Amino acid sequence: MQRTIKLTLPSNDFLMETIKLYNVACNEVLKVGFQARTYSKNKVHRLTYYGIRQKYPMLQSSMVQCLRDQACDMLKHERLEHLSVKKPYSAIRYNQRTFKPYLKKGVVSLSTVEGRIKIAISVPKYYEQYIDWKAKSATLSYDARSKRFRLHLVVEKETPAKIKATSVLGVDSGIINHAVLSNNMFFASNHIRNVKGRYQFLRQKLSAKRNSFSTTSLKKA
């Protein structure tokens, strides 16, 4: 099973430049894939990888692969009917080769246009329960309104093995008894029927008053 840890990062010029350049390069890959009418990652890789690496040497190999995968997923989502365009501060992807969280130490390592940098983080108390889970991927975005960076870490933990049932329990629903179990437990419906009856009485009483009010109004008119 997977969970997402949401973190707020301090202002950083390297992260800003990384997001901008990543999205510029991703838009170029989107155009190539759209014109070639393909969202196959292998085909798009052959068409764009070396050109992007040569044009944007500050983006390391793994980051180029991340933006290629993101572009292909966007093309697939639109079924090549429309050309998607990434905004300057759109979220960018990180894979296991481009980031490393050290949540217990309050640090996260991220690839940027200036190489790897370590940034101090504060893990909200709610997310401390996932600190020991394995990090799978991450997305980084910039909120221009609040002027804050957002890092969403996707962490994973093996799903617990299913508990094997040692017995079978049958349930039979009825009118007098709401439920009767095969182990001779009975759940009477007296309270439920009393509540339903009271509500029905109130509805009838309100309906009668409404009809009486309508009749009186008509006579006066």
Dist CA 150 CA 111 (whole Å) = 15
Dist CA 76 CA 64 (whole Å) = 18
Residue 146's pLDDT is 87
The contacts of residue 81 (CB under 8 Å, 6+ apart) are: none
Q: Which of 134, 121, 115, 133 is nearest to 62 (CA)?
A: 115
pLDDT tens per residue across span 41-86: 999 999 999 999 999 999 999 999 999 999 999 999 999 999 999 9
Instruction: Delimit the domains of the chain by residue range.
Output: 1-159, 171-214
Q: How many CB atoms lie within 10 A of CB 123?
A: 18
What value, to the nearest 5°, has the Cα angle with vertex 50 and ends 48 and 56?
Answer: 90
DSSP class of 182: T
DSSP class of 164: P
> Measured over all CA atoms, what is the biggest interatomic distance in the chain, rounded to whole angstroms?
89
Determine if the pTM surpasses 0.85. no
Kindly give the parts of the chain with pLDDT less than 70: 161-166, 175-177, 213-221
Supply φ then ψ for residue 188, to 5 degrees. -70, 150
